[in-house]
Amino acid sequence: MSETLASTPYGTLPTAASLPQRKPVSLPRLHEMRERGEKITMLTAYDATFAAAADSAGVETLLIGDSLGMVCQGLSSTVGVTLDTMCYHTESVARGLRRVQGTAWIVADLPFGSYQESKEQAIRSASALMHAGAHMIKLEGGGWTTETVAFLVERGIPVCGHLGLTPQTVHALGGYRVQGRSESDAQRLRRDALALQDAGADMLVLEMVPAALAAELTPELPRCHTIGIGSGKGTAGQVLVMHDMLGMGLGKTPKFVRNFMAGNDSVRDAMAAYVASVKDGSFPDDRLHAW
DSSP output for 78-136? STT--HHHHHHHHHHHHHHHHHTT--PEEEEEPPTTSSSS-HHHHHHHHHHHHHHT-SE
Name which of 65 and 284 has its Cβ closer to ligand KIV: 65
Please state the closest distance from residue 73 (CB atom) to ligand KIV, in A.
Answer: 12
User: Is residue 168 a contact point for ligand KIV (CB under 6 A)?
Assistant: no
Please state the closest distance from residue 107 (CB atom) to ligand KIV, in A.
Answer: 9
**Is 280 flagged in the annotation as binding?**
no
**Residues marked as catalytic:** 207
Query: Do residues 65 and 43 lie in contact, with contact meaning Cβ atoms separated by under 8 Å?
Result: no
269: Cβ contacts below 8 Å, ≥ 6 apart: 57
Please state the closest distance from residue 62 (CB atom) to ligand KIV, in A.
Answer: 11
User: Is residue 284 a contact point for ligand KIV (CB under 6 A)?
Assistant: no
User: Is residue 103 a contact point for ligand KIV (CB under 6 A)?
Assistant: no
Name which of 66 and 91 has its Cβ closer to ligand KIV: 66
The count of residues interacting with ligand KIV (CB under 6 A) is 11
**Is 109 flagged in the annotation as binding?**
yes
Name which of 46 and 151 has its Cβ closer to ligand KIV: 46
Binding mask 32-71 for ligand KIV (x = CB under 6 A): ------------x------------------x-xxx----
Please state the closest distance from residue 70 (CB atom) to ligand KIV, in A.
Answer: 9
3-state secondary structure of 167: helix
Name which of 235 and 277 has its Cβ closer to ligand KIV: 235
Q: Residue 40 forms beta bridges with which residues?
A: 237
Q: CA 276, CA 261: separation in Å to the nearest integer?
A: 14
How many other CB atoms are there within 10 angstroms of residue 116's CB atom? Answer: 16
Name which of 5 and 72 has its Cβ closer to ligand KIV: 72
Q: Residue 206 forms beta bridges with which residues?
A: 163, 228
**Is 76 flagged in the annotation as binding?**
no
3-state secondary structure of 284: coil
Backbone angles phi, psi at 86, to 5 degrees: -60, -40
3-state secondary structure of 163: strand
- Between residue 180 and residue 239, which ones bind ligand KIV under the rule CB under 6 A? 205, 207, 229, 239
Query: Do residues 239 and 229 lie in contact, with contact meaning Cβ atoms separated by under 8 Å?
Result: yes
3-state secondary structure of 227: strand
Distances (CA, A) of 184 to 163, 180, 181, 190, 215: 15, 8, 8, 10, 18
Which residue from 189, 206, 241, 278 is in contact with ligand KIV, where contact means CB under 6 A? Answer: 241
Please state the closest distance from residue 162 (CB atom) to ligand KIV, in A.
Answer: 6
Which residue from 109, 163, 283, 291 is in contact with ligand KIV, where contact means CB under 6 A? Answer: 109
Q: Which residues bind ligand KIV (CB under 6 A)?
A: 44, 63, 65-67, 109, 205, 207, 229, 239, 241
